Amino acid sequence: MDSPKTTIGIRGVVLLCIAVVIFSELLGLPLLRRSIRPAPPPSNFAPVSGVPSLVAWNEATIILSATGNPIRGEFISRRCELCHGVEGFSSRASTPNLAGIDARYLWKQLQDFRSGKRKSEVMQRIAGPLTPRDAADVAAYFAMLPNAPDAQFSPSFPQTLPDHSAIEIAQRLLAVGDPNRGIPPCQACHGPLGYVRPAPSLASQNYDYVLSQLNDFARGARSNDIDLPMRTIAAELLPSERQAVAEFYGADLARFPVGYTSQ
């Protein structure tokens, strides 16, 4: 015996289910979409895929990167001279000086260019054919060069002195950072006081290059810093502060710890 009540009851249940689903969707409750909703982006820095670097610091990589052969490296460096200079001081201020920079840092950068974890049209092409051993050798050569500029070999370094207020801003950031914004002193990792490897020395680095790297870290365009120290710090710095520290390094004012006097 089919009673109209039962038919209406089944339809009613079906309609009720549909209504609940539509209602939950309207309210944004994820009844149906939980499994198909795309995962949220991994971090604030878009678009970063996976790990910052394929380099893992372990016994093998530390030994390889720190024991290159500088004599063989000098031959390889002929391919670099045009841009990075004969004595590791670049011909243009937008190209980094490599003289006296820690070999492990240089080696890691060459691996990051090779793997595409650090983007640079020119350097990805140049680092591509270098084997890890070639990279260690050429890094050992540049690391050995004196980082004090010699007018004959450093056509674009040092750059002009910043004004007084820029010097004050830079000195504060280098020596104490800004505890209120969680910015540690640059000197703690980049020397010459502390030296957290593989953070590079910035003491003889070009203004234009330092500024462009800080801007790139701040917007995530450079994202090969393991554990994000530089993306975090650069994003906290005001544009005027990035400019001030770049000018300070570019003018060769960071050779000695801030506060150092020779008397």
Binding site for ligand HEC (CB under 6 A): 76, 79-80, 82-84, 95-96, 98, 106, 108-110, 120, 122-123, 126, 138, 173, 183-184, 186, 188-190, 196, 199-200, 202, 205, 210, 213-214, 224-225, 229-230, 233, 245
d(CA 26, CA 96): 55
CB of 165 to ligand HEC, least distance (A): 17
Nearer to ligand HEC, 7 or 94 (CB): 94
Helices (H), 27-130: 59-66, 70-77, 81-84, 103-115, 121-127
Nearer to ligand HEC, 21 or 216 (CB): 216
DSSP letter for 35, please: G
Largest CA distance in the chain: 110
CB of 151 to ligand HEC, least distance (A): 22
CB of 148 to ligand HEC, least distance (A): 17
Whether 124 and 166 have beta carbons less than 8 Å apart is answered as: no
Whether 120 and 133 have beta carbons less than 8 Å apart is answered as: no
Nearer to ligand HEC, 161 or 197 (CB): 197
CB of 88 to ligand HEC, least distance (A): 10
**Which 3-state string (H, E, C) describes 171-239?**
HHHHHCCEHHHCECCHHHHHCCCCCCCCCCCCCCCCHHHHHHHHHHHHCCCCCCCCCCHHHHHHHHCCH
d(CA 158, CA 107): 25
d(CA 101, CA 116): 22
Q: How many CB atoms lie within 10 A of CB 98?
A: 28
CB of 69 to ligand HEC, least distance (A): 14
CB of 105 to ligand HEC, least distance (A): 7
d(CA 215, CA 26): 42
Nearer to ligand HEC, 199 or 203 (CB): 199
CB of 261 to ligand HEC, least distance (A): 22
Nearer to ligand HEC, 24 or 124 (CB): 124
Nearer to ligand HEC, 70 or 96 (CB): 96
Half-sphere exposure of 179 (CA within 13 A, CB side): 2
Nearer to ligand HEC, 24 or 232 (CB): 232
